[in-house]
Structures are given as C-alpha cells and as structure tokens.
Amino acid sequence: MTPHANPAAPRTAPALAGAGAGLRNPHYRDALAEVNEQAYPDLCWFEVHPENFMGDGGPPHACLEALREAYPLSLHGVGLSLGGEGPLDRDHLTRLRKLIDRYQPELFSEHLAWTAHDGKYLNDLLPLPYDDAALARVVEHVELAQEHLARSLLLENPATYLRFDTSRFSEIDFLREVSAKTGCGLLLDVNNVFVSAHNHGFDAVDYIKQFPAELVGEIHVAGHAADAGGADLLIDSHDRLVANDVWQLLDVALDQIGAVPVLVEWDNELPAWSILAGEVMTAAAALGRQESSCLANHAH
C-alpha cells in the first residue's frame, strides 16, 4: 500500500476562524448547497441555536451532520437562563451535552441574561441587575454548566432596554468578574453594544475599548431596528442588514482585539441566502483588513 491519503476518510474540519453565518431552518438547503459549491469561499463556519436541534431526527440533524463534516461549528444557546434566580434546568443541560457530544462544536456560547422563571420559558433574553447576588448566581450557573458540558463557554454581553437602580457593577466589570471566577471566555456582540449604548446613553467606542480583549473568543454582528412603540430605543431585532455604524464599530473592535471569529446573525424576516452570505462576506472583508482568513489558525 502506498501512503496515499484515503479519499473516503472524513475530512477534518479546519479550526474555527474567519467569518461565519448564523444558520436558521429556511436556509438549510442553501447551506448544504454551499458544502458542495463553495460559492462563498470566505464563509468559514456556521453557528446554530442548539435548541433547534433537540428533536430526535429529520432534516435538522441531517443538515447539521453534513455541515459538520465540512465546516467548523459553533453552538449558540438561548435557553439555559444562566442569570435565572431558580436552579439551572438539568434536563436542558443534558440535552446540550448530548448535542455537544454528537457534533463536537468548536465553540459553545450563551447569554448574560435570564430566560426562564418558575418552570416557564419566556423566550426573550431578560436583563439582570449587576449586583452581588446576581454575580454569585451567574458564577454558580456558569461553573455548573461548564462542569456538565465538560468545556468552557463564551458568555455574551446582552442588548438591554432598561437598567436597575440596584446595579453596583458596570456590565464590563460584571462580565470580567464572571470570567475571572469561572474561567469562561466572552462573546462580544458589537450590535448589542451599539443598541445598549443608544438605549442607555453611553459611548459605544468607549465600551469596546474597555472590553477585556484577551477574553474575547468570538464577535457577533446583526441588524437592529427602531422601537415600533415610538420610544427612543433601538431593538436588537436581527431582522435586517447590519447597520453601517455597527460595521464601523466592528472595525474598532477588531483593531482592539485582533482577528477573532466574526458571526453574522439574522433570525427574523430572513432574507434570501445570498443576502445573508453577502453580509458574511462584508464581515470577512473587515477581518481581511486584519490579515485573517478561514485558515488563520493553520498559518501558525
């Protein structure tokens, strides 16, 4: 036998780097076509909500299996309620562990928020007061989650619409403390920074510059909207193109942090795949200015 590579052997997915796309059900076919055609070679990885893959079988798993063979993968949870006053949902942790064991994602992330209370799931990322009690609770929950999932997670800064007069920490200090006590990394959502900065009247660039760059494992960008209720608020709607201001803020973040993976999220009013892929190409171009590509991690 000559030592040729076995063409039937599964391709080892390259490490996660470059620009990625948040994938939702209506785009499964487009994503599978991308595996073969690679029409967007700068689309380097995919991210999905694990909650959408907690059925027993069918097209969602078939799609993720196929993508997983060709691309690095990130699972971005929305249902763990790390900031919840009640105990973590053990059943949900078990479901997450099963998915992580099956798909071996390069990254797993969750939100600094609560989403469930008293056995009811509220389907929104609800805000926390940044006080000692919340800090102790989030730390305990992140530790438990990391232990249960046998890996460290990335914690995302939220988009918020209100503040509590009981907060004692800045959001950045709160995140820094959670990371220091649990070893978790951070996911910097640049659109969330932009939205929260508008809603609370702080400077988005200052926030980015104060953000602990060494802890950031991933960046998100997405579209936002004005409040339909007429209040002077921006809503983290994920239903349109990324705003120019947010692309500019991404450049600031990349200058500050260096080339970390950048994801484009689009969850509502989904566009044609080519539009979303175009946004990913824009993110790739921003990373390109940092001399990064899909293979950045292989170059070292």
Partner 1 sequence: MRTELQQRFSTALFEASLPPPSEVVDAGAVTAGQRFNVYRNNIHVSLIEALAQSFPVVQQLVGEEFFAAMARVFVKSHLPESPVLLHYGQEFPEFIHAFEPANSLPYLPDVARLELARRRAYHAADAASLQPDSLLDCAEADVPRLSFDLHPSLELVDSQWPIITLWEAHSDGERTELLELQDEGEDALVMRPADAVKVHRLPPGGLVFLRSLQAADTLGAATALARESHPHFDLAINLQGLLESAAVTGWRLQES
Give the sign of the dihedral formed by CA 15, CA 18, CA 22, CA 25: negative
Measured from the CB atom, the residue of 87 and 258 that comes closer to partner 1 is: 87
Among residues 33, 41, 59, 298, which is the contact residue for partner 1, using CB under 8 A? 59
**β-pair type (234-235, 19-22):** unpaired
Among residues 101, 124, 132, 206, which is the contact residue for partner 1, using CB under 8 A? 124
Q: How far apart are CA 85 and CA 137, in angstroms?
A: 7
Asked whether the beta carbons of 96 and 149 are under 8 A apart, the reply is yes
Does 226 sit near partner 1 (CB under 8 A)? no
Does 272 sit near partner 1 (CB under 8 A)? no
Shortest distance (Å) from residue 128 CB to partner 1: 9
Among residues 119, 150, 214, 299, which is the contact residue for partner 1, using CB under 8 A? 119
Instruction: Extract the runs of DSSP E, i.e. beta strands, from 190-276.
Output: 216-222, 225-226, 234-235, 262-265
Strand partners for 221: 264
Does 51 sit near partner 1 (CB under 8 A)? yes
Does 37 sit near partner 1 (CB under 8 A)? no
Q: Which helix (H) or strand (E) holds 74?
A: strand 73-76
Does 36 sit near partner 1 (CB under 8 A)? no
Asked whether the beta carbons of 17 and 259 are under 8 A apart, the reply is yes
10 Å CB burial of residue 203 (0-12, 13-18, 19+) is exposed
Shortest distance (Å) from residue 86 CB to partner 1: 8
Asked whether the beta carbons of 190 and 242 are under 8 A apart, the reply is no
Does 80 sit near partner 1 (CB under 8 A)? yes
Measured from the CB atom, the residue of 121 and 169 that comes closer to partner 1 is: 121
Does 95 sit near partner 1 (CB under 8 A)? yes
Shortest distance (Å) from residue 279 CB to partner 1: 22
The 3-class SS string of 49-111 reads CHHHHCCCCCHHHHHHHHHHHHCCEEEECCCCCCCCCCCCCHHHHHHHHHHHHHHCCCEEEEE
Does 268 sit near partner 1 (CB under 8 A)? yes
Q: CB neighbours (10 Å) of residue 283?
A: 27
Does 108 sit near partner 1 (CB under 8 A)? no
Asked whether the beta carbons of 25 and 52 are under 8 A apart, the reply is yes
Shortest distance (Å) from residue 94 CB to partner 1: 12
Does 3 sit near partner 1 (CB under 8 A)? no
Q: Which stretch binds partner 1 (CB under 8 A): 40-48, 89-97, 168-176, 206-214?
A: 89-97
Shortest distance (Å) from residue 123 CB to partner 1: 5
Measured from the CB atom, the residue of 81 and 179 that comes closer to partner 1 is: 81
Q: Which stretch binds partner 1 (CB under 8 A): 114-122, 257-265, 277-285, 289-297?
A: 114-122
Give the sign of the dihedral formed by CA 82, CA 159, CA 169, CA 187: positive
Assign 29 to helix, strand or coil.
helix
Q: Interface with partner 1 by CB under 8 A: which residues?
A: 51-52, 54-62, 78-81, 84-86, 89, 91-92, 95, 114-124, 126-127, 129, 161-166, 199-201, 227-229, 231-233, 235, 268
